[in-house]
Structure 1
Amino acid sequence: MDTNERPDVLIDSLPYFDQEIDFDGMRAKVDKLVEQEMRKRPVSLKRDQTLHFPANFEFFKNSPVLATEYQRVQQGKPIAEMDINRYKLAEPENKEDQEAWNKAVDNSKAQLQHQNLRMFNLELLQKYGANAWRLHNYQLENELQQYQKTLEEYKQNILDLNKQRKAEQLQTGNKIEELNNKWTEMIGQTLQVEVACASLEVEVQQLKLYEQQLRASLGVNNEEKAAENENNQKEG
């Protein structure tokens, strides 16, 4: 990633270049620091999906059947068994009831039609099912190939991105190391200048002291000469 395109991004880690983690004891020290830092985090701030999930969220609001089933599961109720009474051909209990016989006959007709429909579907499946499944399998294989191709493209993009990141980090790391060496060299030169300045200051102080001593010595000599001249004049 080019930092010129994202000026707000601050790169403070170069994992492809920094090798300090491989030093003896460094990884254990880092893991210990991370563990200590994790212990300082409050329990309420730990990642918990339930804290970020809306409380008034309604599941399956567009599907009453799924909503009812979800409510049943939430309440822990057993699933209702399938009612198969409507598929039975039982005769009426009251054999003298004409209405009951009419319902039984209607039920038998419905069952017969249902069986005819099942046989018709089986015939269609036997005739066209194999080709339909072959076509479906072909479509699935085509989709699988597309997904595999997309996956390979993503893998290649990730590989290229990692190569680019590694090259940029190595280049940046070398530049940082070069600047660090230059900074160290300049610091050394600055220390040498400071030592030289301190040495010169000491030498200047010594020269000033020597100057004061010379001035004092010259002052005493001048006083002695003046006294000697006065004595000579008096004697003359």
Structure 2
Amino acid sequence: MPLMQSSAEHLPFIDAVPSDQAIATADALVQAELGSGDRAALHPSIPVRTEPQFSELVEAEHARLAAGEARDSGIDLSRYEALDAPAKGDIEGWKATLQKAYASAEYLRGREINLGLLETYGKNAWLIGNSQLEDVLKSLGKEVEAMKLEQEAVEQARKAAQESVRGEMQSLEEGWRMGVGGGGEVEAGSP
């Protein structure tokens, strides 16, 4: 099997684990090449991180969570209850009551539409929709499993390819060492 079939810079299945000294030397070389040694400096292609802009409501919720206060309540259901008429002559009270009535009417209108759809198409349409979503989820799960199996097969093939050339790599490395050693001996012997 020829050695130059693929260009693998790292052969994890046949390379020896580097020593702590080799790792420290490599880290030192990387830091020297970076220049200033500033780990906070990012690569120019990495976009600058922007600070998030939250609304006042979200900021208030963050403050409440940071203070450890308990949540008062969730959705205010009082807006869907029957409204009491304000006192005669209270214009602001009538405006507030009218706004609440509009919100309640909009909720009830949406509810009426949904109940009409349920009556027209029946609960089976909703159940069929859920069944279709479950089928989509199952097919995606099968795709994920197939991709995992494919990845495992590629990894096993890669390991087998590396293991099959282990002897050739070792003999080439020994030949290289002997050649370099022989060259050193020749240079040491020449005047």
* TM score, norm. by length of structure 1: 0.46
Alignment pair present for 1:31 and 2:44: no
One-letter code of the match for 1:142?
S
CA deviations on 1:29-70 (whole Å, 9 max, x unpaired) are x2356458768969x74755x8566446365xxxxxxx5359
1:100 CA drift (Å): 3.7
Q: What SS does structure 2 have at the residue aligned with 1:153?
A: helix
2:54 pairs with 68, 73, 82, which one?
A: 68
Q: After the TM superposition, which of the residue ranges 137-146 and 156-165 deviates more from structure 2?
A: 156-165
Counterpart Cα distance in 2 of 1:37 and 1:111: 66
CA deviations on 1:123-148 (whole Å, 9 max, x unpaired) are 55723222221111111111111121
Aligned partners of 2:85 and 2:94 also within 8 Å = yes
Q: What SS does structure 1 have at the residue aligned with 2:82?
A: coil
One-letter code of the match for 1:141?
K
Alignment pair present for 1:117 and 2:103: no
2:165 pairs with 163, 168, 176, which one?
A: 168
CA spacing shift, 1:157–1:132, aligned 2, 3 Å: same
Aligned partners of 1:17 and 1:170 also within 8 Å = no
Aligned partners of 2:14 and 2:162 also within 8 Å = no
* Structure 1 vs Structure 2 CA RMSD: 5.1
Counterpart Cα distance in 2 of 1:74 and 1:106: 27
Aligned partners of 1:17 and 1:169 also within 8 Å = yes
CA spacing shift, 1:88–1:78, aligned 2, 3 Å: farther
CA spacing shift, 1:89–1:181, aligned 2, 3 Å: same
1:87 pairs with 75, 80, 92, which one?
A: 80
Matched pairs, number? 168
Alignment pair present for 1:157 and 2:154: yes
Q: After the TM superposition, which of the residue ranges 148-157 and 99-108 deviates more from structure 2?
A: 99-108
Q: After the TM superposition, which of the residue ranges 92-101 and 141-150 deviates more from structure 2?
A: 92-101
One-letter code of the match for 2:173?
I
Who is 1:221 aligned against?
none
Structure 2 unmatched ranges of 5 or more = 66-72
Structure 1 unmatched ranges of 5 or more = 22-26, 60-66, 195-236
Rg comparison, structure with higher value: 1
1:166 CA drift (Å): 2.8
Q: Whose relative contact order is higher, 1 or 2, with alpha carbons under 8 Å and at least 6 apart? A: 2
Who is 1:63 aligned against?
none
One-letter code of the match for 2:128?
N
Matched ranges for 1:179-198 at <5 A: 180=177
Q: What SS does structure 2 have at the residue aligned with 1:76?
A: helix
Counterpart Cα distance in 2 of 1:159 and 1:54: 37
Alignment pair present for 1:140 and 2:133: no
* TM score, norm. by length of structure 2: 0.54
Counterpart Cα distance in 1 of 2:37 and 2:144: 39
Q: What SS does structure 1 have at the residue aligned with 2:54?
A: helix
Who is 2:125 aligned against?
128
